Chains A and B, each alone.
Chain A
């Protein structure tokens, strides 16, 4: 391995053997593996990558995509089924905060013990203790048993130890999400400091902000396969798209329901995107068109149409209606009405549409959840990702004086 490489992974595959019953493992051992009592589950498939010294790499992926398995393999906690992992330097792993802590012992004792686990002598820990205590900021609790700590104190102490043992390689699994904002900022600052000291860092996080803020490069892990390492921004965009694609309509959405006198009724209601394709996927920054085909059994006027856009949590997000306009329309037979939102402006996710037609006195046709549609982001820059929250994306203009 070249000396500027911190981690080199070649054709790494990890297959778990799943035994239905603990005794099956013994049976298999007793037959020297000639009889199989297990099924196999491949968590990682043929992964190869290299991380140079001093680089920070982010790994994103859905739950169950194999992220934790990959980190455990990098730490040497798990053994690869095939392929190799070579690591150059001392690794400090934060797979679970405070995993080695014993609740019966005081914070101070646990700090020293954690140091011993990392291979530091008592004298080396003495030199670091003041920094650790200051970073954890738990005051006199440092001499109390860890079991009486609040969860916030616990994670602060655990994180403080892990980042103060001068690792060559720091592996962080989803632990930045703990603690309050101030502590998170402190963690990020500390990690930035380690970066400037040349520590190689691998971060797993679901928070796009952390990945973009900390990582030079990133990769998506999906169903046990790892993408190439690319700039964090590109990877985040790819990941976001993947998550959106995979996400189906929420099971909590209201059932489709239809009632009314049906002297006039909706034949169909559908969504068209900007290029006039019938679809149920629209982009947030492009026009979206609601099209309804209606049929009137007899000549009538004074009809109002109303469309309710509902979020996956069944809240009405917006209503468009023909009030004050359609009363003059003379309806008989088949008609087509449409409404264009330009641009769609909804934040990404699943929505559905309720269509309602009513005359002055009667509900002609009420069709709940007539069509589902999904709003996607097109440009997945982190800038847009950070705005993809709430109900809709505001357009407006800033002034500065």
Chain B
């Protein structure tokens, strides 16, 4: 078993066509048969955005320090949510990603290690559309600038962490069915422990370190910085990147270690 990240990526790259097909199936299957079909990929984030704009903009009238540049609050919230939702959607579905395909594990010759990547791929598709809507909203409100192009790069630690946890949860999910119940609760808890609905600066001093070392908050804050045009804290981001890379490798290692027993357990 190799822990070399290059080997792991080569393993994934070799199966890229298959992975692409699986993601396509996954995304299409969700909308197949629905009246609006794939339109929902656009519709659901738009509805979500409209609700946030109304609730936080009109009812709560929330104000953040970052709003000095004049960006509406709901756009700040939305940019953080894009990052978090990407993570949350992936992780919540991870425990069922292998368990849900027993025939792939037991009945056909299949590179099982790419199965946990399918929720991530599907989440990326949805995240991509969310991002397009963000760009359109920024352009519409006149806050679009070049810094936003860093957004996809800055989100990479989150993808790595999601990947590592996916492998981990997918493996556990095979043995423990309860994981499909536990993980969504865990994700909801994380949402409130990460600066999604509030800026990191609003956290009391005593709790700061917790947030400082939470890679989720680093990434969400960085992504938000690209939206407001503020400088990115590269040092903290780099640490988060390394932490998440290690998490991804460990997740892969755990998955490969336990996969021998998948066929027996399912």
Measuring CB to CB, which residues of chain A are less than 8 angstroms from any residue of chain B? 16-17, 22, 25-26, 29, 72, 75-79, 91-93, 95-96, 99-100, 102, 104-105, 109, 112-113, 116-117, 119, 121-122
B108 touches A22 (CB 8 A): no
A102 touches B25 (CB 8 A): yes
A116-B109 contact, Cβ under 8 Å, with A17-B264, A22-B175? no
Cβ of B3 under 8 Å from chain A: no
A105 touches B25 (CB 8 A): yes
Cβ of B140 under 8 Å from chain A: no
Partner of B108 from the list A78, A99, A112 (CB cut-off 8 Å) is A99
Give the docked Cα–Cα distance between A327 and B131 (Å): 104
User: Interface with A: B83-91, B98-106, B242-250, which one?
Assistant: B98-106
Partner of B105 from the list A17, A77, A119 (CB cut-off 8 Å) is A77
In the complex, chain B residues whose CB is within 8 Å of the CB of A93: 108-109
Give the docked Cα–Cα distance between A285 and B105 (Å): 49
Cβ of B263 under 8 Å from chain A: yes
A77-B176 contact, Cβ under 8 Å, with A102-B29, A105-B25? no
Give the docked Cα–Cα distance between A96 and B106 (Å): 10
Count of chain A to chain B residue pairs whose CB atoms are closer than 8 Å in the complex: 62
A119 to chain B: closest residue by CB: B18
A25-B109 contact, Cβ under 8 Å, with A113-B25, A116-B17, A116-B21? no
Give the contacts of B70-107 with A (CB-CB under 8 A).
103-107
Shortest B207–chain A CB gap in Å is 31
Cβ of B42 under 8 Å from chain A: no
A72-B263 contact, Cβ under 8 Å, with A102-B29, A113-B25, A117-B18? yes
Cβ of B32 under 8 Å from chain A: yes
In the complex, chain B residues whose CB is within 8 Å of the CB of A29: 175
Measuring CB to CB, which residues of chain B are less than 8 angstroms from any residue of chain A? 17-18, 21, 25, 29, 32-33, 103-110, 175-177, 260, 263-265
Partner of B107 from the list A16, A26, A95, A109 (CB cut-off 8 Å) is A95
Partner of A77 from the list B17, B33, B109 (CB cut-off 8 Å) is B109
B interface secondary structure, majority: helix
The 3 A-B residue pairs with the shortest CB-CB distance, nearest first, are A99-B107, A79-B260, A99-B103
Partner of A75 from the list B18, B109, B176, B177 (CB cut-off 8 Å) is B109
B265 touches A96 (CB 8 A): no
B105 to chain A: closest residue by CB: A77
A79 to chain B: closest residue by CB: B260
Give the docked Cα–Cα distance between A116 and B21 (Å): 8
Give the docked Cα–Cα distance between A38 and B71 (Å): 61
Give the docked Cα–Cα distance between A264 and B71 (Å): 113
A91-B109 contact, Cβ under 8 Å, with A104-B32, A116-B17? yes
A26 touches B175 (CB 8 A): yes
A104 touches B263 (CB 8 A): no
Partner of B21 from the list A22, A76, A99, A113 (CB cut-off 8 Å) is A113
